[in-house]
């Protein structure tokens, strides 16, 4: 495993791995499934960096 975290917009957790060729692979869990008909209204997220990722110090995030 290279990196783990939480995506606030989608509410899912994720893990990043490297495949045998060194390419990044993301495994996500807990994403919301939307039906084609009758989906809930969209959410409006703020423009703050904290909205995008739980890794606020992106300069310290590993390059995957």
pLDDT score recorded for residue 38: 93
Number of domains in the chain: 1
Beta bridge partners of 25: 17
38 by Cβ neighbours in 10 Å (0-12 / 13-18 / 19+) ranks as: exposed
pLDDT tens string 43-58: 787 777 666 665 544 4
Domain that holds residue 29: 3-60
Between 51 and 37, the higher pLDDT residue: 37
Whether the CB-CB separation of 27 and 21 falls below 8 Å is answered with no
pLDDT tens string 1-30: 787 888 777 778 889 899 999 998 988 888
pLDDT score recorded for residue 60: 46
* pTM, two decimal places: 0.54
């Amino acid at each position: 495993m290279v990196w783990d975290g939480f995506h606030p917009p989608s509410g899912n957790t994720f893990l990043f791995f490297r495949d045998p060729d060194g390419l990044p692979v993301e495994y996500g869990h807990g994403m919301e499934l939307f039906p084609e008909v009758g989906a809930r209204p969209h959410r409006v997220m703020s423009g703050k960096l904290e909205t995008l990722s739980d890794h606020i110090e992106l300069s310290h995030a590993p390059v995957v």
